[in-house]
Amino acid sequence: MLPRHGWSRRQPSAGPGYSIVSTEEDGHKVSALGSVNGHSRNGKGHAPRRKHRNRFVKKNGQCNVYFANLSNKSQRYMADIFTTCVDTRWRYMLMIFSAAFLASWLFFGFLFWCIAFFHGDLNAPVVGGGPSLLKPCIMHVNSFLGAFLFSVETQTTIGYGFRCVTEECPLAIMAVVVQSIVGCVIDSFMIGTIMAKMARPKKRAQTLLFSHHAVISVRDGKLCLMWRVGNLRRSHIVEAHVRAQLIKPYMTEEGEYLPLDQRDLNVGYDVGLDRIFLVSPIIIVHEIDEESPLYGIGKEELETENFEIVVILEGMVEATAMTTQARSSYLASEILWGHRFEPVVFEEKNHYKVDYSRFHKTYEVAGTPCCSARELQESKMTILPSPPPPSAFCYENELALVSQDEDEDDDEVGVVLGGSTKEEGGVIQMMDFGSHLDLERLQATLPLDTISYRRESAI
């Protein structure tokens, strides 16, 4: 399987040192290959593109696996009929139970009709239009339709009081007993299956959200792979924890080809960072170190790699205490190098606000090294110089500044200008002018961590 190379295309800048990917489509454009018919836009040829990879796990969590050539498949599925009914679709399950009820009614109706026929109830002599001289096995059953109605009344315990079995035929009495038992078994099986299907936490995963893209950027001086997870319900996921696996073809030293080799990505198992309190959206971090499968992959290698990262979120549903699992995956083309996620949590007066319109959005950070974590380690490069240059102003800080409401700006300006330093007053003036030139000039002299923002947090 030969990889394909391409050229990434940078998005228009939205500020000093970063650019914004506003939608999933725009995110694909960032990692898309800017070429037409095997040539770049400037007419120069380049290496073939990356070959398309089928997903092992779809974005909605379904596994893209088809089972073929199973021996005794029907017998194995029928041996576990309860699980088969729970896993089947609702329309098929209702059809199965409807057919089971109808078949049992018809079978016992035919049996009662045969008992009445051989006993002579259908051709019983009548004197003067009065009642029959022969005591029937089943009262008022003179046709197959009457026998079918008696079967329905018996199994559903309706009991209209018009048709009933007599002590004349022990076989009819035994048939009534058997049908009652069969009806109880079908009812209990149907109720149990429907309850198990309704209480199954599979649908709970529909309200657990994964970001459309994963990103690789610097965090705490190290290259990290990050993606975002969120919970759309107010009810919590108890004991929530995350896992991640990298799946790619692998050739062993002996020449054995493994098409789906799975390797774990450490998301903090040893220190407990994999266990999360999922109340607001959280960014999951995988540090690319010596034990990471991504240790030798840089930006150029990422554009030609052919792997898939499967991410899993597990936990117990608070309402039912049943374990649920949500899954998603990221192809190599869905990992944005040198990007970060936009902040979604903002501090209001009395609560924290989560803006899910920003959940999938990312922005590009200038200064992210394009080499792999291994090359960084070998060269002992310093990723973030100290102090940072003016162009490295954090996007979250500017977002927190410009997103404040105008009705509160006057009050906050008065408080800050009345009891703050001259430099802090300059920051408020910068908000009014909105000039990037003034912004970069102020950053060179202002430490950002000394400013307090009460309205919205730069999370």
Residue pair 400/457 in contact (Cβ under 8 Å)? The answer is: yes
What residue spans of 19-143 are helical by DSSP H?
Answer: 24-31, 73-79, 81-87, 90-119
Of 12, 72, 67, 6, which is closest to residue 38 (Cα–Cα)? 6
| Tens-binned pLDDT, residue by residue, of the chain (459 aa) | 444 433 333 444 444 444 444 444 444 444 443 343 444 434 444 444 556 678 899 888 888 888 888 888 888 888 888 888 888 888 999 999 999 999 999 999 999 999 988 888 887 554 445 555 678 888 888 889 999 999 999 998 887 878 888 888 899 999 999 999 999 999 999 999 988 888 787 778 888 999 999 999 999 888 999 999 999 988 889 989 999 999 998 898 898 999 889 999 999 888 888 899 999 999 999 999 999 999 989 999 898 888 999 999 999 888 888 888 999 999 999 999 999 999 999 988 889 999 999 999 999 998 888 888 888 888 865 554 445 444 444 555 555 555 555 445 545 544 444 444 434 443 333 334 344 434 444 444 444 443 333 344 443
Give the DSSP H or E segment for 441.
helix 436-443
User: C-alpha distances in angstroms, 396 versus 15, 292, 453?
Assistant: 12, 28, 12
Residue pair 104/155 in contact (Cβ under 8 Å)? The answer is: yes
CA distance 393 to 441: 11
DSSP string, 142-189: -SHHHHHHHHHHHHTT---SSS-B-TT-HHHHHHHHHHHHHHHHHHHH
Q: For residue 239, report the phi and psi dihedrals to the nearest 5 degrees.
A: 55, 45
CA distance 215 to 288: 12
Residue pair 136/124 in contact (Cβ under 8 Å)? The answer is: yes
Residue 252: count of CB within 10 angstroms of its CB: 9
CA distance 228 to 358: 11
pLDDT at 354: 92
Of 251, 290, 283, which is closest to residue 267 (Cα–Cα)? 283
Of 412, 459, 451, 447, which is closest to residue 432 (Cα–Cα)? 412
pLDDT at 47: 46
Contacting residues for 250 by C-beta, under 8 A, at least 6 apart? 257, 258, 261
pLDDT at 2: 40
Residue pair 348/365 in contact (Cβ under 8 Å)? The answer is: no
pLDDT at 425: 41
Cα 235 from chain centroid (whole Å): 16
pLDDT at 68: 84
Q: And the tokens for 264?
A: 């774990």
pLDDT at 441: 43
- CA angle, 325 then 331 then 336, to 5°: 110
Provide the 8-state DSSP code for 225.
E
Please name every residue paired with 364 in a beta bridge, in sequence order, or none if there are none.
19, 339
Strand order in the sheet with 18-21: 13-15, 18-21, 362-365, 339-341
Q: Are strands 35-36 and 237-251 parallel, antiparallel or unpaired?
A: unpaired
Residue pair 368/337 in contact (Cβ under 8 Å)? The answer is: yes
